[in-house]
Amino acid sequence: MTAPVPDPLPYGIRQIMLTPYLDVQGTMLSTQSYPLPVAMTLGFSETEQFDELRGDDKLVAVHGRGPQVDWSLESGGMNMVAWSIITGGSVVESGVAPNRQVALQKSWDDERPYFRIDGRIISDSGGNVVARIYRAKANGKIQANHKNGAFQTSQIDGIGLPLVNDDASWLYEIVQNETDSPLSGTPTPNPVPIPTNVYVGVITNTTVALSWTDIIEASQYLVQQSIDGGVTWTAVPAGTNAVQTVTLANATGGTFTLTFGGQTTVPIAYNASAATVQSALMALSSIGANNVVVSLTGSVYTVTFDDALGDAAQTLMTDSATGLTGSSPTITIATATAGTSGGGQPTEPFTTITGLTANTHYQFQVAAVVNSVTGEYCTPVLALTT
């Protein structure tokens, strides 16, 4: 039996790393961290404002407005990059050795940015403790102390706020590591945000449309579905769009028509552009706007079923070539790609889940993928197919 990890006995701050965010809101973490030199103090406290309900001459209830972190940093020496991360100023280097100059320039309209703080504290019981404030901003003093007969020290006070675009709203983290190792210049990624505001849109007997708030750093989303009230979950596959080809042969004039789902297009010229054929198909009530994409190579039109008709098998279109002229003109319609049900691996914050069973209660949950890491799934949403 493996012995439990002993309780930590933190002693001495050994390292403080600052990691900037690449956007104003503090959502896209940089892949490079910078040391705050000669780390002396990382202090933080969780605080929260509470509202009170009083009546009948007594306190009935209290409710918090949400916690925040009040933090302070103290270090010796001066690192220009670290100061730029804290202040929002710019580091400018000029000259050549041995006459180089590095300057921190701060303009009155340079806003103090968000950044992440990681502090490493050794433990007398072995390993270390890492304290991490996810979304910090210096909203207090930024003080450099220059004293006679003393090294420069810096003191900074600030606030820590929760991560945005996240159901979990991570505020801070304290991690005990059984084995001590230095903090890397490549930061541990933030927790992958959880999709929020998941909304059920149009529902049919076999499809359910879903949308949610976009997570900027997400490269993909994954969708799971359940039909037993969330007891078991299955991954929804990506799905494949159906693709059909329409090939004209020996036509020198006249028109033709295409039929899909019982609806027939207006007559289409034998030499019509791809855009013309696409417009004619989208005009059908059985297809609709934005649900097909048509391209043309030589005399072959390639029709890709997309959007509401994507990720599903589609019946083969039929044609009428009686309006064409030429030496025995013909039209051949064939399946290039058989569509398959899915919609479970979108790259945009919306999708249509296809291949569902009519009159069935479904639950759906969505997770984001950031840097090949899949985050937690959101709170499930309900849908009943027609």
224: CATH: 2.60.40.10
pLDDT at res. 167: 61
pLDDT at res. 30: 94
- 5 falls within a domain: no
- Whether residues 28 and 169 share a domain: the answer is yes
- Whether residues 22 and 159 share a domain: the answer is yes
In this predicted structure, the answer to whether residue 168 has a pLDDT above a threshold of 70 is no
- The tally of domains found in the chain comes to 3
- Whether residues 372 and 293 share a domain: the answer is no
- 281 falls within a domain: yes
Per-residue model confidence as pLDDT tens digits over 330-357: 999 999 999 998 999 999 999 999 889 9
- Whether residues 379 and 298 share a domain: the answer is no
pLDDT at res. 251: 96
- 251 falls within a domain: yes
- Whether residues 26 and 160 share a domain: the answer is yes
pLDDT at res. 8: 86
Per-residue model confidence as pLDDT tens digits over 221-259: 999 999 999 999 999 999 899 999 999 999 999 999 999
Compute the average pLDDT of residues 275-298.
Answer: 96
How far apart (Å, rounded) are the C-alpha atoms in residues 386 and 208?
10
In this predicted structure, the answer to whether residue 90 has a pLDDT above a threshold of 70 is yes
Range of the structural domain that residue 374 is part of:
199-238+341-384
- Whether residues 260 and 347 share a domain: the answer is no
How far apart (Å, rounded) are the C-alpha atoms in residues 45 and 115?
18
How far apart (Å, rounded) are the C-alpha atoms in residues 355 and 341?
5
- Whether residues 163 and 219 share a domain: the answer is no
How far apart (Å, rounded) are the C-alpha atoms in residues 40 and 14?
8
